[in-house]
Chains A and B, each alone.
Chain A
């Protein structure tokens, strides 16, 4: 059963890039475009991993991290932050809130596959 990744990203072109990358290795995907939708999606059908942008409308990525990692039922879900925010203080803040990994844009497909593999080792796509 392929693993399901929730992609929370508001930039359409980046979504296309990420989707193309993940399609190539057979992950299942659900795409949401803001933090509020991301939290809804986690509540309704928890994914195996969340790929999370930080700057999103309504509820931002930091808030998503706070809620998901602050809840006993969802804190086990690995969250890989994928953001254009390259400042050290943002990275530290995200890690302090429980992010499992922090990737900055731009990235290469191989880097993304490696990180996902690290957090989803038994993916059998």
Chain B
């Protein structure tokens, strides 16, 4: 097939001026060489006033300075810098949120400047806020009735409200287990909602590795014993602290051990191991469970994905735990992955950076950068 040349009846300035989002072209000194109409409208400027002005000064978005530096410094790679964080622009009491993409502009083989594109994500932000609020309200509304059910079930189970028949006890055990499941679901939904809305607050501080592992494992030991599973911790001596939000790191570890317990048969073993390699600590949870088929291994970190082990039905999860664990680990600048062989067992490993001081870990902004 031959492509014919189609004549364009308008010039490209007209096209650019009709784009829904603001676009700038800046030189290496970050001075504006060109901007489209949407940009002049949004920043209450004129073409004349804007040209030659430094983009950070005109827009008031200080973050642009670092973003442009990033692109200009990696000139050789010719890589586009795509900033996930949004920015606020306050004009006439309105708040806008943008994602910013910067592409390097090469002229005669040399880096000349950059193309700065804003994408308006204000509506997306509003929807996220509505979703987070909704999850929060639903979670709150579920917790209160669950309290009555759980307290009642526990008191009945303990025989504090009279004797029960063996069948009655069995039914109560089932109700209790499902209440736990609902309770876990509510916690997970809230955590996920926070992470997705960008409001997750990851406060990385030096965290002692033994404390972290013990805190995660201690509440699960009794359950493991009850299931006939041996729970072993193997922490290398003299490990440095990790840069981690202690509670969130404990949550990740407890979630992985809890998963391992659900997929390991009586007589099996779960080993929690911590080792150092370079500037990272490797935390692994190894079980002798049924294993995860190769084709499922890639998708298990996605939301709402549940994988039944070979010969097993679902285990009562909703498929959020690993998605949240991944988000938490990545927010710390770490990685998480799985190695598994059907019939032999599974090892989940995640890394956290060693704590060397404040600069050892780069965390995402807890608040979007302000316009100024």
Q: Which residues of A contact B (CB under 8 A)?
A: 11, 13-14, 16-18, 20-21, 24, 55, 84-88, 104-110
Contacts and interface: CB of A to CB of B under 8 A. Distances in A.
14 contacts: A13-B147, A14-B148, A16-B148, A17-B147, A20-B155, A84-B144, A86-B143, A86-B190, A106-B143, A106-B179, A106-B183, A108-B150, A109-B151, A109-B155
B154 A106 contact: no
B17 interface: no
Q: How large is the interface on B (under 10, 10 to 19, 20 to 34, 35 or more residues)?
A: 20 to 34
Given A24-B155, A24-B160, A87 B136 contact: yes
A21 B154 CA distance: 10
Contact of A107 (B139, B147, B187, B190): B147
A13 B146 CA distance: 10
B152 A105 contact: no
Interface string B127-154: 0000000001001110111111111101
Among A14, A105, A109, residue most surrounded by chain B Cβ atoms (within 10 Å): A105
A55 to B, nearest CB: 8
B160 A105 contact: no
A13 B154 contact: no
A120 to B, nearest CB: 19
A109 B183 CA distance: 15
Contacts of A13: 144-145, 147-148
Given A20-B155, A109-B155, A88 B201 contact: yes
Contacts of A17: 147-148, 151-152
Contact of A11 (B136, B144, B150): B144
A107 B151 contact: yes
B139 A86 contact: yes
Nearest to B136: A87
A52 to B, nearest CB: 15
B171 interface: no
B143 A104 contact: yes
A110 B143 CA distance: 18
Contacts of A107: 147, 150-151
Nearest to B148: A13
B143 A21 contact: no
B174 interface: no
B161 interface: yes
B140 A85 contact: yes
Contacts of B160: 20, 24
A106 B150 contact: yes
